[in-house]
Amino acid sequence: MDSTLYVTSRTLVSLASTGRAPKLFAKISKNGTPIYALVFSNALGLISMLNYSVSLGKVFNYLVTISGSATYIAWAVIGVVHYRFRKA
């Protein structure tokens, strides 16, 4: 498991440094640990492991709920930015 996270995070850092992934993943800490890439890799691993403990339909519902919440938050931020733009 450790080697998988190591390879996944370093691959994500490499992709980000060449512009093929978001630049956020190219950032590393002082000691060379790619924190954002590791967190993202662990999150994907968690989602994939949910299939073992929860039925596939529930995992799909979780993902749909998360994406719906993200859409709502994005539109809320758009509304706030639009209001601040008009106010300025």
pLDDT, tens digit (0-9, with 9 covering 90-100), for 68-87? 888 899 999 999 999 999 99
pLDDT, tens digit (0-9, with 9 covering 90-100), for 25-44? 999 999 999 999 999 998 88
pTM of structure: 0.59
The residue ranking higher by pLDDT, 51 or 6, is: 6
How far apart (Å, rounded) are the C-alpha atoms in residues 39 and 8? Answer: 11
pLDDT over 70 at 1, yes or no: no
- Residue 34: what pLDDT? 94
Type of residue numbered 62: Y
